[in-house]
């Protein structure tokens, strides 16, 4: 019963090492090498080529290397099998660090001070305490809830928004379409950590920006297609927004010459907010394979109707 590892962007070396250590009874093949297709029971995959998973006749479980499964669900031939998304401590810690770094960067005027330093300007700006800065988090799942807790621990005034009602101590939780307006109206810094679904595609648009307090900052670490890029550029140009930190883009890598590269109010990182590291994540894959083989229910299974 073998495992097929499929990723065009992840180094298979550390995964082979960890999976062989944790699951020695399961040979691991690294795509495009497949061996005997009929021996493959598990696919551990990030953006597998459309049709690949459907071509494996005895596949039983698909384990996503990423937390977001939008690319996987976009494959019309995706087999009707359990799809387990990635939930693991390294991903949570990585995202919490990236979000905290971006929030602190804008909160402490680092963007303005870096620009001043480049011009040799010594000019203290108005500074605020964290408790005076209202942060809103779209998505209160594994990553959003952890980021919310960390920001609250730093003293920020944090609220969040989810599809169903949530309760997180110290966080003002809003939910559903009716809860969105209240969250936006009080978000000086807005962080997007939603899954990309039919309901959330394009959510970061002109209408949403207009509902934020003037001069707000938008931080997107979810998916590029959450953002209407032209609307962001217009909101920055009009002064409606102060700045943006973006880790994800409609087209990745971000094409040369894209206006975000040189925009003075946009921070760009190359989809690195939270990476899935084999040294922490292989254990969660091994755990789900063991559960499957013991007849226990799988965890973190995607609901394909919901889209996440
Ligand atoms: P998750 O645990 O599934 O949480 C998703 C959250 O979004 C939940 O709170 C969910 O509400 C909420 N949500 C979904 N649809 C909604 C809607 N229509 N309206 C309001 N709230 C909605 O996902 P996660 O593990 O936190 O990951 C979130 C996303 O981060 C991933 O899907 C991926 O796209 C992105 N990501 C990016 C990176 C990176 O490096 N940039 C790394 C990892 C993940 P409920 O609580 O009611 O279900
Ligand atoms: C990365 O973007 C992920 O979804 O894990």
- Do both 41 and 127 map to the same domain? no
- Do both 112 and 187 map to the same domain? yes
- Do both 240 and 102 map to the same domain? yes
- Do both 125 and 81 map to the same domain? no
Q: Is 192 helix (H, G, I), strand (E, B) or coil?
A: strand
- Do both 75 and 117 map to the same domain? no
Q: Look at residue 301 and tell me if it is in a domain.
A: no
**Cβ-based neighbours of 86, under 8 Å, separated by 6 or more:** 63, 64, 65, 66, 67, 276, 281, 284, 300
- Do both 212 and 72 map to the same domain? no
CA atoms within 13 A on the CB side of 13: 1
d(CA 243, CA 232): 9
Q: Look at residue 298 and tell me if it is in a domain.
A: no
pLDDT value of position 47: 97
- Do both 198 and 244 map to the same domain? yes
- Number of independent structural domains in the chain: 2
Q: What is the CATH number of the domain that holds 247?
A: 3.40.50.720
Residue nearest to atom 38 of ligand 1 (CA): 274
- Do both 251 and 190 map to the same domain? yes
pTM: predicted TM-score of the whole model, two decimal places: 0.98
Query: Each residue of 248-298: pLDDT tens digit?
Result: 999 999 999 999 999 999 999 999 999 999 999 999 999 999 999 999 999
Q: Look at residue 307 and tell me if it is in a domain.
A: no
CA of 210 to the centre of ligand 2 (A): 28
Question: Which uninterrupted H or E stretch holds 186?
Answer: none
pLDDT value of position 87: 98
Q: Look at residue 304 and tell me if it is in a domain.
A: no
Q: Look at residue 300 and tell me if it is in a domain.
A: no
CA of 223 to the centre of ligand 1 (A): 10
Maximal CA-CA distance, the chain:
68
CA of 210 to the centre of ligand 1 (A): 23
- Do both 82 and 94 map to the same domain? no
Q: What's the average model confidence in pLDDT over 60-75?
A: 98
Query: Each residue of 76-128: pLDDT tens digit?
Result: 999 999 999 999 999 999 999 999 999 999 999 999 999 999 999 999 999 99
> Residue 200 CA: which ligand 1 atom is closest?
18
pLDDT value of position 255: 98
- Do both 95 and 80 map to the same domain? no
- Do both 284 and 216 map to the same domain? no
Residue nearest to atom 3 of ligand 2 (CA): 66
d(CA 206, CA 225): 14
Q: Look at residue 303 and tell me if it is in a domain.
A: no
d(CA 156, CA 4): 44
Query: Each residue of 160-176: pLDDT tens digit?
Result: 999 999 999 999 999 99
Query: Each residue of 132-146: pLDDT tens digit?
Result: 999 999 999 999 999
pLDDT value of position 235: 98
Domain containing residue 167: 89-268
Q: Look at residue 190 and tell me if it is in a domain.
A: yes
Q: Look at residue 305 and tell me if it is in a domain.
A: no
Query: Each residue of 241-253: pLDDT tens digit?
Result: 999 999 999 999 9
Residue nearest to atom 5 of ligand 2 (CA): 66
- Do both 137 and 230 map to the same domain? yes
> Nearest bound ligand to CA 97?
1
Residues with CB under 6 A from ligand 1: 67-68, 91, 95, 139-144, 161-164, 166, 193-197, 199-200, 221-223, 247-248, 271, 273-274, 308
Residues with CB under 6 A from ligand 2: 66-68, 86, 276
């Amino acid at each position: 019963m073998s495992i097929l590892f499929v990723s065009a962007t992840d180094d298979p070396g550390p995964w082979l090492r960890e999976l062989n250590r944790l699951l020695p009874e399961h040979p691991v093949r690294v795509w495009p090498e497949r061996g005997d297709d009929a021996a493959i029971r598990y696919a551990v995959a990030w953006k597998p080529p459309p049709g690949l998973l459907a071509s494996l006749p005895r596949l039983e479980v698909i384990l996503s290397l990423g937390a977001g499964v939008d690319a996987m669900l976009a494959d019309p031939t995706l087999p009707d099998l359990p799809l387990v998304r990635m939930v693991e401590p390294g991903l949570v810690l990585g995202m919490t660090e990236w979000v905290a770094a971006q929030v602190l960067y804008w909160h402490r005027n680092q963007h303005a001070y870096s620009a001043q330093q480049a011009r040799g300007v010594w000019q203290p700006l108005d500074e605020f305490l964290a408790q005076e800065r209202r942060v809103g988090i779209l998505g209160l799942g594994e990553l959003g809830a952890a980021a919310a807790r960390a920001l609250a621990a730093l003293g920020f005034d944090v609220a969040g928004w989810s599809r169903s009602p949530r309760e997180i101590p110290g966080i003002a939780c809003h939910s559903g379409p009716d809860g969105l307006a209240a969250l936006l109206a009080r978000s000086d810094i807005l962080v997007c950590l939603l899954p990309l679904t039919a309901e959330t595609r394009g959510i970061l648009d002109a209408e949403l920006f207009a509902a934020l307090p003037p001069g707000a900052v938008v931080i997107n670490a979810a998916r590029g297609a959450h953002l209407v890029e032209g609307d962001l550029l217009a909101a920055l140009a009009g002064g409606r927004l102060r700045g943006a930190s973006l880790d994800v883009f409609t087209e990745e890598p971000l094409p040369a010459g894209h206006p975000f590269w040189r925009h003075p109010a946009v921070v760009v990182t190359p989809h690195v907010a939270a990476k899935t590291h084999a040294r922490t994540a292989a254990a969660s894959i091994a755990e789900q394979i063991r559960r499957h083989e013991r007849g226990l229910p799988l965890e973190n299974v995607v609901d394909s109707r919901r889209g996440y």
